[in-house]
């Protein structure tokens, strides 16, 4: 699980870099930033579900619940950064 959280943190840092480049060059926010945020959200929801399965009473407050859930049985999606495009 530590690896999953590390991947999510790395992905968030890449999103931050995309936003910094956009701001520095006065570019519009790249679409990849939004796509990457969606991937991180889905990935963290998967971590949340696994934590809740381990300890239903204790883990429920760790992450907020989401409206969009990935289909059951797909497991944890692998995060892959999108190419930077302006």
Predicted pLDDT of residue 85: 53
Predicted pLDDT of residue 26: 95
32 neighbors 18 (Cβ within 8 angstroms): yes
| pTM of the predicted model as reported, rounded to 2 decimal places | 0.58
Predicted pLDDT of residue 1: 80
Using 70 as the pLDDT threshold, list the residues of the chain that sit under it: 56-86
Predicted pLDDT of residue 65: 45
């Amino acid at each position: 699980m530590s690896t999953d959280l590390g991947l999510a943190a790395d992905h968030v840092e890449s999103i931050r870099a995309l936003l910094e480049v956009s701001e520095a060059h006065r570019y519009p926010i790249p679409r990849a930033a939004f796509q990457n945020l969606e991937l991180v959200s889905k990935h963290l929801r998967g971590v949340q579900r696994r934590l809740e399965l381990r300890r239903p009473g204790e883990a429920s407050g760790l992450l907020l619940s989401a409206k969009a859930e990935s289909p059951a049985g797909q497991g944890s999606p692998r995060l892959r950064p999108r190419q930077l495009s302006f």
